[in-house]
Structure 1
Amino acid sequence: MRIHKECFHCGKKLEGRTDKKFCDSHCKSAFQYKKEKQNPHRFYNKVDNQLKLNRKILKEYNKGGKVTIRSSVILELGFNPNFFTHYWKNQKGDVYLFVYEYGFLKTNENGKEKYVLVTWQDYMAK
């Protein structure tokens, strides 16, 4: 007698070996990828997830190409300035940190910590 179970990934009914867990190698691979992606203890995932969150926040608050915002606004949303992909130094010596195409510069105006948010421009590549 054969036992009918469901694929761990897609839920399709399985037939065959009693210890079968997936209907094919694609479902097995997709299941393992999803499982590992949800594991917050893996260093790669922690970094990748933080970069994605940082990019999302910077994109949301920089609709105009250059914006100044209080640091508390984005820090409360989970923004972590220690996670970035690259940097750019302007002629004044200011170092903008970037998360892909969205950059930020920490400043202090009137005793309040702020971030200047910018979008990557072609001239920055030179």
Structure 2
Amino acid sequence: MRSQTTCLACNRKLEGRTDKKFCDPYCKSAWHYEKKRKGDAGFFSKVDQQLKTNRKILKLFNKSGKATVRAQILFDKGFDPNFFTHYWKNKKGDVYLFIYEYGFLTKIENGKKKFILVTWQDYMEK
């Protein structure tokens, strides 16, 4: 018994398999695109989007390989330090959080929250 008799995207009558939902690949793609555009993104999509945003922001402010930036500047651009891909702990015990190859360390200097930005180095793999 067919559960769906018309294409979800264009409402044309479906022919073929009983579990078919779309009449062709174009309709399938269009339906998924529209669903995503309307904001029906899942958890993994939201996490991926925030990681991409974080990486873009860190890359923007860390052109030389190391920089110090006030936290509020990054927050204003959409940075969220709760989203990261991995971490690295140095010999002093400082924990740098990384978004792919760009990392940051949270510091308080003169009562203001700042981030020390770094890029991943080969020696960090040990």
Gaps of 5+ in 2: 1-8, 15-21
Instruction: Look up the match of 1:30.
Output: 29
Q: Tell me, in whole angstroms, the C-alpha distance in 2 between the residues paired with 1:36 and 1:103.
A: 34
Instruction: Look up the match of 2:116.
Output: 116
What SS does the corresponding residue of 1:76 show, helix, strand or coil? helix
| Letter matched to residue 31 of structure 1 | A
Q: Cα RMSD (Å) of the superposition?
A: 2.5
Matches of residues 10-21 of structure 1 in structure 2 within 5 Å? 18-19=12-13
| Letter matched to residue 50 of structure 2 | Q
Across the two proteins, how many residue pairs are aligned to each other?
111
**TM-score, normalization: structure 2?**
0.75
Q: Tell me, in whole angstroms, the C-alpha distance in 1 between the residues paired with 2:66 and 2:13.
A: 57
Contact 2:12–2:23 (CA under 8 A) maintained in structure 1: no
Residue 19 of structure 1 deviates from its aligned partner by: 4.2
Residue 61 of structure 1 deviates from its aligned partner by: 0.5
| Letter matched to residue 34 of structure 1 | Y
Q: Tell me, in whole angstroms, the C-alpha distance in 2 between the residues paired with 1:33 and 1:18.
A: 17
Matches of residues 9-88 of structure 1 in structure 2 within 5 Å? 18-19=12-13, 24-25=24-25, 27-35=26-34, 37-38=36-37, 39=39, 41-88=41-88
**TM-score, normalization: structure 1?**
0.75
Q: Tell me, in whole angstroms, the C-alpha distance in 1 between the residues paired with 2:95 and 2:30.
A: 41
Q: Tell me, in whole angstroms, the C-alpha distance in 2 between the residues paired with 1:91 and 1:114.
A: 21
What SS does the corresponding residue of 2:105 show, helix, strand or coil? strand
| Letter matched to residue 96 of structure 1 | Y
Instruction: Look up the match of 2:18.
Output: none
What SS does the corresponding residue of 2:114 show, helix, strand or coil? strand
Contact 1:37–1:45 (CA under 8 A) maintained in structure 2: no
Instruction: Look up the match of 1:103.
Output: 103
